[in-house]
Amino acid sequence: MIAILISSAILAVFIIACFCVFFDQAILTRKETIYRVKTNEKKVALTFDDGPSPVWTPKILDELKKADIKATFFMIGHHVAEYPDVAKRVAQEGHEIGNHGYTHGALIYYTTEELEEELRYTDFMIRQVTGQITKYYRPPKAWITKREKEKIKAMGYHIVLWSLNSKDWVTFDDKYIVKYILRNIQNGDILLFHDSGGVFKTEGGDRSETVSTIPLLAEKLKERGFKLVTVNELLSGGEND
């Protein structure tokens, strides 16, 4: 009996792990969001979620600076409040900051008023600390309904998901991440990475593979003629797909 329970538990963990690695939930909620841009230019947007992190964001910023890349960071409001100097550095180095909500809570649990408050307060915090006004919003885990999309757009935001998910929070090999992206990349893609957190939380984690992916990816994409840009720059050169 115990053996059956243990093997069932192992099987359940295996199925969940496979789901996390191979399935991208954003596919289900992409409708009427920006997830890829139609363009003839070989440009793709590089995005990082869940920061700022006092450990990983500075390392990522160092790599971006070396490779001369500007990216978009979808920040969590309470991380901005906790680590304002890191958020400030992101802005000072010319990167774009997007709104990823204050608590990283799933939107389905919010009333319309709470949703509005969550976004407004995150924008207020980012504005106070970095001087940037957020106009792009990314829902935590891409969980968002039609009603929430309408509400967020009415607030003046563009909802940004992604077309290529690095799965850097479950893929622990920089070379594999680069190979996966190179195999699938198209003009106008939006790439998802994380500068904070791990499998179960948005703080801490081990983002060392994310850090080491940046120079590898930058070099390979440059060889193929692709330029890594911010979401704003990608949108300014094409139409929403």
**Torsion, CA 104, CA 124, CA 75, CA 82, rounded to 10:** -80
Residue written as tokens 């070099």?
219
Q: Closer to Zn ion at the Cβ: 52 or 140? A: 140
Query: Is residue 49 among the annotated active site residues?
Result: yes
Tell me which residue has its CB nearest to Zn ion.
49
Q: How far is the CB of 103 from Zn ion (least distance, A)?
A: 11
Q: How far is the CB of 137 from Zn ion (least distance, A)?
A: 12
Q: How far apart are CA 121 and CA 101, in angstroms?
A: 8
Cis peptide before 52 (omega within 30 of 0): yes
Which is catalytic among the residues 50, 100, 194, 195? 194
Q: How far is the CB of 41 from Zn ion (least distance, A)?
A: 28
Q: Closer to Zn ion at the Cβ: 77 or 140? A: 140
Strands of 132-223, DSSP E = 136-137, 158-159, 164-165, 190-194
Are the beta carbons of 42 and 226 closer than 8 angstroms? yes
Binding site for Zn ion (CB under 5 A): 49-50, 140
Q: Closer to Zn ion at the Cβ: 50 or 203? A: 50
Active-site amino acid positions? 49, 194
